[in-house]
Amino acid sequence: MSVDYTEDSIRSLDWKEHIRMRPGMYIGKLGDGSSHDDGIYVLVKEVIDNSIDEFVMGHGKTIEVSVTEKQVAIRDYGRGMPLGKVNECVSKINTGAKYDSKVFKKAVGLNGVGSKAVNALSSHFRAQSFREGKTKLVEYQRGVCVNDAPICDSDEKEGTLITFTPDSEIFGNYHFLYEYIEEMLWNYVFLNNGLTIVFNGQKFHAKNGLYDLLERNINGNGPVLYPIIHIKEGDFECAFSHSSRTYGEEYFSFVNGQHTTSGGTHQNAFREAIVKTIREFFNKDFETSDIRSSIIAAISIKVQEPVFESQTKTKLGSQHLEQGGQSIRNYVNDVVKRNLDNYLHINTETAEAIYRKILQSEKERKDMAGIKKLARESIKKASLHNKKLRDCRIHLNSNSEERLNTTLFITEGDSASGSITKSRDVKTQAVFSLKGKPLNSFGLSKKIVYQNEEFNLLQAALNIDESLENLRYNNVVIATDADVDGMHIRLLLLTFFLQFYPDLVKAGHLYILQTPLFRVRNKKQTLYCYSEEERLAAIEKLKPSPEITRFKGLGEISPGEFKHFIGTNMRLDPVILRRESSVAETLSFYMGKNTPDRQRFIIDNLRFEEDVLLEVKVA
């Protein structure tokens, strides 16, 4: 069918309409707050970034952040926006002081978009500037100005107060997880010595930069093999060590204070510099993977007018420190080589520890080479006869805006995987079907990943054999029945990921799918309930005598119904590793030999439901 293409087909959107129609261009994926990269956290970050830029320029040592219910308030004590331009600063795209590099030399937000996106995507947005004994207040609803108050006298300290409520029309029934906000705030204070952030009354402050960041994040990786090496020179800072665990690399990388979770040119330069320096120091041509295996590092660089690969600024694309200046690659190589080479000559015990680690990694790699070859052959054969993976069309490494929504559901049994497969979004959602209960991998070596068919096919589907950077899906979702067997399978899968791929969990990629326990309906309405409390509320709402169904397993939910539970209203519980928890100790407690402590824990935390289903609450 042909469609007329006329002058009437052409439409011009104003700033707020474009942001609301294409929010993914400005804040990445939307989400309900279950994921650390959901849009509501990007909104918080965009506002704080402006306050951080004030601090970097020497104005305001304290930032106050408050989150109550769904409202966010951020108060800084910088210079305050010029009073006559407050309206323009928060409602006109490509308006701001950061185009003037003399005012904001190495700022995070350079595109004049951040606060405008927050404004447009909030049901209520309020900006107030305090400056030179005066104040100016403007208020908006979904980007429309509803109060442009006149400038008046004020005895408040200079600075800016931004208050906003993310719009439920855009973000749905969202919720803030304080763990994600706290992680963001810790990173800000680690990267800005002298800064204090107060979040809901709790103070965040650090004295030793990236050294403190690494020390805080290193817990759970096992003890480090040598003291943290901390290098700080000019516009570059890094801290790193090798952990006692034997798999993977872990990086916390930043540009102008922005957490570049996808790395970029600065992270690539650091990885290259470590390999080059260690090879030259020992005068041996070690394999790259043997040098970097089990490294945990934090890196930070300041770049004038940085170029990121998207508005969400998760990956640095800049090649140079500043226009016409030295390349980032050469600069990082020079700083790391000079400082690390000198450090290793002075600290011979650390040099010996690194050398032993490299030899250990080399031995393990050679021992695994034959096993991996057989495993790859096994995957090829299994792919011909076994359709465990129903893949999606888009993957995390694509250029599509939808890549952040890519999801792999790990299910048990044919009926459950069949329901999800028939109701999924084939563009972004894939399904991996388990055959029975997976092996308890606690205490086993990584060799078992390749020798066990289920684990071998699963890691191949995720594409995480060599590096987490190659992960095919942004969200890895465990979807099991809400019964004892389903809980056991869930624990076995959690053990697998924590034992062999803890970085996947730490990076916030692993989730538990919540599906309804009850369906309550009458002739006019159907309600799905995820708890006993919701069931009782539904019965009260749909009286008299509605029909109640208790779902025993995912296979009992029809594909038509399943669409409601894995679509825009999908409920996911993120798997979050508490910083004070050790992965080894956690796994030992839950999956090791039966101990009196665990027996007491189970007894203290069990309860019986109406259908006598025993539920164990796992912290």
- What average pLDDT score do residues 216-224 get? 73
pLDDT of 442: 82
pLDDT of 579: 61
pLDDT of 441: 84
pLDDT bin (cut points 50, 70, 90) of residue 387 is low
- What average pLDDT score do residues 391-405 get? 85
pLDDT of 375: 67
For the cut 50, the answer to whether the pLDDT of residue 111 exceeds it is no
Torsion from C-alpha of 343, 347, 352, 353, nearest 10 degrees = -80
- What average pLDDT score do residues 439-448 get? 82
Q: At what angle do helices 596-604 and 583-591 cross, to 10 degrees?
A: 80
pLDDT bin (cut points 50, 70, 90) of residue 613 is very low
For the cut 50, the answer to whether the pLDDT of residue 611 exceeds it is no
Query: What six digits make up the tokens of 109?
Result: 């937000």
Over the stretch 540-585, which tens digit does the pLDDT of each residue have? 888 888 899 888 778 778 888 888 888 877 888 898 876 655 666 6
* DSSP helix/strand/coil, 603: helix
Phi/psi of residue 136, nearest 5 degrees: -135, 130
Over the stretch 476-489, which tens digit does the pLDDT of each residue have? 999 988 778 888 88
- What average pLDDT score do residues 436-453 get? 82
pLDDT of 247: 66
- What average pLDDT score do residues 231-238 get? 93
34-38, 321-325, 606-610: range with lowest mean pLDDT: 606-610
- What average pLDDT score do residues 289-317 get? 84
For the cut 50, the answer to whether the pLDDT of residue 145 exceeds it is yes
Query: What six digits make up the tokens of 618?
Result: 């796992």
pLDDT of 614: 35
Query: What six digits make up the tokens of 219?
Result: 């817990």
pLDDT of 37: 84
25-29, 259-263, 337-341, 552-556: range with lowest mean pLDDT: 552-556
Q: In what order do the strands lie in the sheet with 547-550?
A: 526-529, 518-521, 547-550
For the cut 50, the answer to whether the pLDDT of residue 351 exceeds it is yes
pLDDT of 103: 45
pLDDT bin (cut points 50, 70, 90) of residue 510 is very high
Cβ(16)–Cβ(9) under 8 Å? Answer: no
pLDDT of 325: 81
* DSSP helix/strand/coil, 89: helix
For the cut 60, the answer to whether the pLDDT of residue 102 exceeds it is no
284-293, 295-304, 432-441, 511-520: range with lowest mean pLDDT: 432-441
- What average pLDDT score do residues 442-471 get? 83
Over the stretch 149-172, which tens digit does the pLDDT of each residue have? 999 999 999 999 999 999 999 998
pLDDT bin (cut points 50, 70, 90) of residue 21 is confident
Taking the C-alpha atoms of residue 125 and residue 74, their distance in angstroms, rounded to an integer, is: 12
| Selection from 541, 567, 525 nearest residue 407 by Cα | 567
Of 346 and 309, which is predicted with more confidence?
A: 346
Taking the C-alpha atoms of residue 312 and residue 23, their distance in angstroms, rounded to an integer, is: 11
pLDDT of 153: 92
For the cut 80, the answer to whether the pLDDT of residue 428 exceeds it is yes
| pLDDT winner (highest mean) among 1-5, 337-341, 490-494, 563-567 | 337-341
Of 468 and 319, which is predicted with more confidence?
A: 319
pLDDT of 110: 41
Query: What six digits make up the tokens of 213?
Result: 């960041």
Taking the C-alpha atoms of residue 341 and residue 363, their distance in angstroms, rounded to an integer, is: 25
Domains and CATH numbers, the chain: 16-204 (3.30.565.10), 210-361 (3.30.230.10), 386-515+551-576 (3.40.50.670)
- What average pLDDT score do residues 515-531 get? 88
Helices (H), 283-385: 288-292, 328-346, 348-385
What is the pTM (predicted TM-score) of this model?
0.78
For the cut 80, the answer to whether the pLDDT of residue 248 exceeds it is no
- What average pLDDT score do residues 62-89 get? 93
Which residues are bridge partners to 299 per DSSP? 238, 253
Environment class of 381 (CB within 10 Å of its CB; exposed 0-12, middle 13-18, buried 19+) = exposed
Percent of the chain with pLDDT over 70: 84
Percent of the chain with pLDDT over 90: 39
For the cut 60, the answer to whether the pLDDT of residue 386 exceeds it is no
Cβ(517)–Cβ(556) under 8 Å? Answer: no
Over the stretch 587-610, which tens digit does the pLDDT of each residue have? 766 676 666 776 676 666 665 444
Cβ(504)–Cβ(473) under 8 Å? Answer: no
pLDDT of 367: 80
For the cut 90, the answer to whether the pLDDT of residue 224 exceeds it is no
Per-chain mean pLDDT for the chain: 84
pLDDT of 385: 45
For the cut 90, the answer to whether the pLDDT of residue 141 exceeds it is yes
pLDDT of 350: 96
